[in-house]
Chain A
Amino acid sequence: MTAELAVFITMGAAAAVTASAVVLSKNTVHAVIYLVMNLFSIAVLYLALSAQMVAFLQIIIYAGAIMVLFLFTVMMLNMTGAVEAAEDRLLKQKPLAAALGLMLIAEVVMGTVGLFSKPSGSMAIEDGFGSAGEVGSRLFFGYMLPFEVTSILLLAAIVGSVVLARKKDEE
């Protein structure tokens, strides 16, 4: 067993288990923690795929910043009681939704099983693949316009969340 296979089995199992735990956990704070663990295991897989820059972006932005925002909102709203009551009203739909969901999972995994038998056939990579410098040079030379559009998207998100969070009577 190669090192990459060992890493894939450990981290892939962790990612699959924590992803399921996000959906299954009753407590929202636990779901956030499971999603953070999922993001970390995916980041390790990125490292195994020699994408260092993306792996560290994942940990810093996703696990660091976005999940703290989620956790902050969960703590601020403290809405466990109301939501559990609401979920109880959906008892009839739940088995059907769960059955259809399991069918969806089975289908997508079956659809990809054919890819297993193929040999890896991956191309060789040169030094510096996935490093910050290489990603940066692609961002600033090949993908300049998408990069700038991204900053407009972030500006729109900032303005939008400020407008949404404002209280009505302050207008």
Chain B
Amino acid sequence: MLPVGYYIALSSFMFAVGAVGVIVRRNPIIMLMCIELMLNAGNLALIAFSRWNASMDGHVFVFVVITAAAAEAAVGLGIIVAVFRQKSGDIDMDSLSEMKG
């Protein structure tokens, strides 16, 4: 196996790019995709350390993270569609600062 640092460097780069995307972009779908990017980077680190320690527990964590990502994408996209209907077209994330029950 390659030194685990190679995979961790790639993983931290991807995580940082995802974090930058959430900060810089205001398109809610791209922000959600950047969150997926960060989750993916975490998964890569888990798998790399799992292989390094020859322990398969990391694979189970990745399984749970993928499930959480699927749930998050479904609910997040549902919220985006609901907001889009409400605001009829303008979904600037900065204008969504009010909540109403």
Q: Which residues of A contact B (CB under 8 A)?
A: 4-5, 8, 12, 15-16, 19-20, 22-23, 28, 31-32, 35, 38-39, 42, 45-46, 49-51, 53-54, 57-58, 61-62, 65-66, 69-70, 73-74, 76-77, 79, 82-83, 86-87, 89-90, 94, 97-98, 100-102, 104-105, 107-109, 111-126, 129-130, 134-135, 138-139, 142-143, 146, 150, 153-154, 156-158, 160-161, 164-165, 167
Contacts and interface: CB of A to CB of B under 8 A. Distances in A.
Q: Is the interface of A mostly helix, strand, loop or mixed?
A: helix
Nearest to A162: B78
Interface of B: 1-10, 12-21, 23-27, 29-30, 32-34, 36-37, 40, 43-44, 47-48, 50-54, 56-57, 59-60, 62-64, 66-75, 77-82, 84-85, 89-95
A15 B14 contact: yes
A90 B25 CA distance: 10
A78 to B, nearest CB: 9
Contact of B37 (A38, A49, A120): A38
13 contacts: A16-B14, A23-B34, A45-B10, A82-B92, A102-B20, A108-B16, A112-B8, A118-B5, A120-B2, A153-B68, A156-B71, A161-B75, A165-B82
Contacts of A102: 20
